[in-house]
Amino acid sequence: MQRYFPSEFGFDVDRLQILEPAKSVLAIKVKIREAIRKEGIPFTFVSSNFCCSYFLSRLGQVEATGIPTDTVFVLGDGNTKDPTVGVEASQLYPDVKYTTVENFMDQFL
């Protein structure tokens, strides 16, 4: 094999910080990547960061069969930013009023 170039239509699981249940779904990709590296197989992973149109058209409701009735609020003005790993959201969107997790949770107590 000269180079392994898998069909990756998704997230870069090596850099992704994700919670369950999605974490378990992507665990197989993590195991495959670990095995490829362990065996020393030359590889190229290209991640498309998932097809936004798949989730956007359903407003994140993956199992929706019709037009979603929920609404969402998209932050920003549509201009893309540079990669944001390790950057606070308040730096990217200073016009948005943010709250702490503690303050958010207090409204439910």
- Kindly report, residue by residue over 59-86, the tens digit of the pLDDT: 666 676 776 676 666 667 767 666 556 6
Q: What is the pLDDT of residue 38?
A: 94
CB-based contact 8:45 (threshold 8 Å) = yes
Q: What is the pLDDT of residue 68?
A: 66
60: its two tokens = 């994140």
- Does 103 have pLDDT greater than 70? yes
Q: What is the pLDDT of residue 23?
A: 83
> 55-63: long-range contacts at Cβ-Cβ below 8 A with a sequence spacing of 24 or more?
none
Q: What is the pLDDT of residue 108?
A: 73
CA distance 93 to 72: 17
Against a cut of 0.85, is the pTM above it? no
Q: State the catalytic residues.
A: 29
Q: What is the pLDDT of residue 29?
A: 86
The HSE-up count of residue 84 (CA atoms within 13 Å, CB side) is 10
Chain centroid, CA 70 distance in Å: 21
∠ at Cα 17 (24, 38), nearest 5°?
A: 70
Chain centroid, CA 89 distance in Å: 15
Average pLDDT value for the chain: 75
∠ at Cα 95 (90, 99), nearest 5°?
A: 50
More confident residue, 61 or 40: 40
